[in-house]
Homo-oligomer: A and B are copies of this chain.
Amino acid sequence: MDDRFARRMNGLKASEIRELLKVTQRPEVISLAGGLPAAELFPVEELKVVALRVLEEHGPAAMQYSTTEGYPPLRTWIARRMTERLGAATQPEEILVTTGSQQAIDLSGKLFLDEGDAVLCESPTYLGAINALRAYQPRFVEVPTDDEGMIITELERRLAEVDRVKLVYVVPDFQNPSGRVWSLERRRRFMEVVRRHGVTVVEDCPYGEVRFEGAPVPPLKSMDAAGQVVFLGTFSKIFCPGFRVGWVAAARPLLEKYVLAKQGADLHTSTISQMEIATYLSMFDIDADLRRIREVYRARRDAMARELELELPAQARFTRPQGGLFLWVELPAEVNARELLQRCLERGVAFVPGGSFFPNGGHENTLRLNFSSMPEERIAEGVRRLGTALREMLPPVPAGARRAV
C-alpha cells in the first residue's frame, strides 16, 4: 500500500475482463469473454450520412460546449421511448444524458454512498458496477437470486438486519452475467418491499430492448409511485457503444443531484455524439435495427446452447436467456473456473470466470459466456474447445444431453 493514494484505491483492482481482453486480441483466440455487441450490425453507411447532416445543420455548435443535462432533442426522444415502450411515464426534464451508463453507475455511488454504507445487489451482479461502486467504499450485501430474480424473503431479511442500506442495485432484464429476467410477480413484490423501506433503487437496464423471444416485462421504474427508482439506459446495445452515450431517468429532485455530480465529473457528454445519435434516430428506423439485432443474437444463443448441451457434463447447468448478450454456466462444484480458464487459453478460447461477479467472493465453479459477438460456427468451435478442456479436469463420464435451466 502506497500512502500517497486515497484509501479507496486499496480496493480497486484491474478488472479481470479488461485484462483478459488484452490476451484475447490475438485473432486465433475465440473470445467468449467480452461483452461486445455484433459490430457487423452497426449502421456504418448510415452514420456517414448522419455525420454530414449534423455538421451541415449545426455547424460549429456541434463542436462547442453544451449543457450538462444533455441535448434537448435527445432527452425528448429518450423520454418518449421510455413512456411508450417501457410504460414508464417520463418527461424530458427527468433525463440526464451520461457518458455511457457506466458513468451513471459511478455517479450513483458518488451521490449515495459514504464509506461503510451498504449496497444490496443480486448475487451474482455486474462486474462493472462492483468496480465503480467499490471506489465509494461500501459494504456489498449480496441477495440470493433464482430463475425469477431476487428472492424477496432474502431481500426482506437483509433490509431488516443490515444497517445503513443506501442503495439497491439491480439488473432485472437479461442480467449481466446470468442472462436472467425477473418475473412480473417478483418485480411487484420487490417494489412493495423497497417502497416500505424507502430505499433508493438503481435499475440498470442496458439489455431491456434486446429481447429475442417472450413478452417484455415492465421495468421497475414503471411501478415506481414514490420516485425512488433511478433507471439507467444506454445506446450501447441498441445503436453502438463507441459513442459512450447513456442516460439516467429519475424524478426531478434526484436528477438534479445527478446533474451536479456530472458537472464535476466531465461537464457534459460529447455534443457531437449526442447530435449524431438524435439525428440518426430521426432519419433511420432503430426498430428495424433492433429486429435485426434480436434475430442475429437469437441464432447465436441457439448455437451456443446447442453446443453446450453436447459438451457439458450431466452435473453442469446453464441458462438459456430470452435476450441480452450473456449466458451463465454452473459447473460441478469441484471445478474451479479460473483453473479451467488457464487450460482454455492454451486451447485458444476465453471466458470470464464467474467468481468475479460476486463482490464477496466464492462461486468459483461458475462462468459467463458471451454469445453476441461472433458467428455461430465460431461460437460452436469455442464451446467445443471449452468442453475438451473441461473433460480433462473431470473424471471420465459419457457426455449426455443437458437440460437448460
A290 within 8 A of B: no
A387 within 8 A of B: no
**A240 with B51, Cβ < 8 A, contacts A261-B135, A263-B131 known:** no
A106 within 8 A of B: yes
**A265 with B263, Cβ < 8 A, contacts A6-B112, A6-B136 known:** no
User: Which of chain B's residues has its CB closest to A6's CB?
Assistant: B114
* A103–B12 touching, CB < 8 Å: no
A195 within 8 A of B: no
Chain B residues closer than 8 Å to A269, beta-carbon distance: 244
**A36 with B48, Cβ < 8 A, contacts A135-B261, A244-B270 known:** no
* B241–A64 touching, CB < 8 Å: yes
**A369 to B193 CA separation, bound complex (whole angstroms):** 53
Chain B residues closer than 8 Å to A128, beta-carbon distance: 263-264, 267
Chain B residues closer than 8 Å to A163, beta-carbon distance: none
Chain A to chain B contacts (Cβ below 8 Å), 14 pairs: A12-B260, A21-B67, A39-B64, A52-B52, A62-B242, A63-B243, A64-B241, A100-B267, A128-B264, A131-B263, A131-B264, A134-B264, A135-B261, A243-B272
Which residue of the partner chain, among B22, B55, B131, B273, contacts A44 with CB atoms under 8 Å?
B55
* B273–A18 touching, CB < 8 Å: no
Count of identical protomers in the assembly: 2
A81 within 8 A of B: no
**A52 to B44 CA separation, bound complex (whole angstroms):** 10
A42 within 8 A of B: yes
Render A60-83 as a binary contact track against B, CB cut-off 8 A, 1 for contact: 111111111000000000000000
How far does the Cβ of A288 sit from chain B's closest Cβ, in whole Å? 17
A7 within 8 A of B: yes
**A34 to B60 CA separation, bound complex (whole angstroms):** 17
Most chain-B Cβ atoms within 10 A of its Cβ — which of A166, A236, A242, A261? Answer: A242
A117 within 8 A of B: yes
**A5 with B68, Cβ < 8 A, contacts A14-B260, A59-B44, A60-B39 known:** no
* B52–A48 touching, CB < 8 Å: yes
**A21 to B267 CA separation, bound complex (whole angstroms):** 13
A47 within 8 A of B: yes
**A264 to B166 CA separation, bound complex (whole angstroms):** 19
* B7–A114 touching, CB < 8 Å: yes
* A263–B18 touching, CB < 8 Å: yes
How far does the Cβ of A240 sit from chain B's closest Cβ, in whole Å? 4
